[in-house]
Amino acid sequence: MEEYMKTVTKHSRKGFVLISALLITFISLLLLIPYASGVLADLKLTSIINSSTLALDLAEAGVERAIWEISYNSNTSNIPLSSFQSSTGDSKGEYEATVTLDDNSATVRAYGYVPNKSSHKAEKAVVVTYSFRRAFGKGVAAMNSITMSGQASTDSYDSTNGLYNALLSDGTYNIGQEGDIASNGAITLGNNTVVNGDANPGPDYPFTGTPPVSGSYGTLQVPLVVDPIVFPDNISSINDNGLIVIPVTSPPTAIFTSGTNDLVLSGTTQIGLPAGTYYFTSITMSGQSTINVTGTTGPAIIYIDSAASASGGGVDVNITGQGIINNTGAPGNLIIYYTGSAIRLAGQASFSGAIYAPSATVTMSGQADIYGSIVCGSNVDSGQAAIHYDKALVNVMPDFVINKITSWQEIQ
């Protein structure tokens, strides 16, 4: 009997232990299931948040790509679907964007998809307004007025396709009808002048009759705005003037007026300007003198500080005779920023480059030609003076021109 009771007690204990173990396991499962569900829900939520964040980052990458394209490819209207990959080459997602351009701003709609557009688990979209100013978006942009008389004319070409009026591979010539001019004030055109492009005066100065314009001639819808020239720090002492190349054969006795940065070239004097940043207080060229832009790694940028000129604020840029400046045929290789009041090209003077002189009156006469673009206070053309706008200059953005995002909205 005693043995029997011991056996029963032993089995009872084992049963109790088993029941207790089962009970503990059941309770643990009851607690673990909601916990596991919570963990799985958190992991799923984290995955959704991470995918959503990545999709938004991709949409913003589309915006950045669009802004880059606006700066360097003026015809941008669509950023095609692009894949974003990690450093190891794994695809993280895709983005695309559409761009709507006008003269001074762009509306960018950008989309981000994770892991891809066709089977995405996260999608984000943003709309951004980007405000910019194309410094050289026209043949002539004048703050005050434009006057053309005689047989003065404008037209256009694209220097990326070669020289002006060159025969192209498709049998056409490198010449176009985008020699646009615009002014916040009046535009006065003589009977024999020709504007092969648009001519848009300020709203207070509408044209009467039918002007000699191949394109539109309605008044400006938005006033022209220019940013003031900001010289680089210490440009008067830290510049590349020492890189100016003077030929060994028949070198001039001097190219600068004694003790100044007034550049004076006459006769058959030739100098070379490699790519760099230069500081002059005036430029005077006559005879057959030549400035030859030689750089291939970037433009020659000339800052002309009229306040320090020995001419006392007169005609600080005076190119006459057969003076030629920048004979590379690529206007983008030469950019002039001038703070003074007067620029003159006369005789058979030829200039290839971009002039940014928002306070100056630019006067052209005789058979003077400008291949490039002019931003000025006023422009006066007479004789057979011609402005050949280089469309490639539309993507030249001075450092001091203000471009910025003015609005940003997440729409999805």
- For 104-136, what is each residue's pLDDT tens digit? 788 999 999 998 888 888 899 999 999 888 889
Q: Look over the chain and give the mean of its residue pLDDT values, rounded to a whole number.
A: 86
Identify whether the C-beta of residue 122 lies closer than 8 Å to the C-beta of residue 163.
no
Top pLDDT among 136 and 249 is at 136
For residue 199, the model assigns a pLDDT of 97
For residue 112, the model assigns a pLDDT of 92
For residue 106, the model assigns a pLDDT of 85
Q: How many CB atoms lie within 10 A of CB 111?
A: 23
For residue 381, the model assigns a pLDDT of 95
**pTM of this prediction?**
0.78
> pLDDT per residue over 174-213, tens digit each?
999 999 999 999 999 999 999 999 999 999 999 988 999 9
Of the pLDDT bands very low, low, confident and very high (cuts 50, 70, 90), residue 75 is low
> pLDDT per residue over 216-239, tens digit each?
999 998 889 889 999 999 999 999
**Looking at 22-31, 82-91, 186-195, 381-390, which range is the least confident one?**
22-31
Of the pLDDT bands very low, low, confident and very high (cuts 50, 70, 90), residue 46 is confident
For residue 110, the model assigns a pLDDT of 93
Contacting residues for 163 by C-beta, under 8 A, at least 6 apart: 157, 174, 329
For residue 144, the model assigns a pLDDT of 97
Residue with tokens 């430029």: 283
Element (H, E) at 194: strand 194-195
For residue 202, the model assigns a pLDDT of 95
Distance CA 355, CA 358 (A): 9
Q: Is 362 helix (H, G, I), strand (E, B) or coil?
A: strand
Sequence spans of domains, the chain? 2-132+405-410, 140-395
Residue 51 scores a pLDDT above 60: yes
Q: How far apart are the first and last CA of the chain?
A: 82
Give the mean model confidence (pLDDT) for residues 394-404. 83
Name residue 217's beta-bridge partners: none
Name residue 363's beta-bridge partners: 344, 380
Q: What amino acid is encoded at 373 in this protein?
A: S
Distance CA 168, CA 147 (A): 33
Of the pLDDT bands very low, low, confident and very high (cuts 50, 70, 90), residue 315 is confident
Q: What amino acid is encoded at 60 in this protein?
A: E
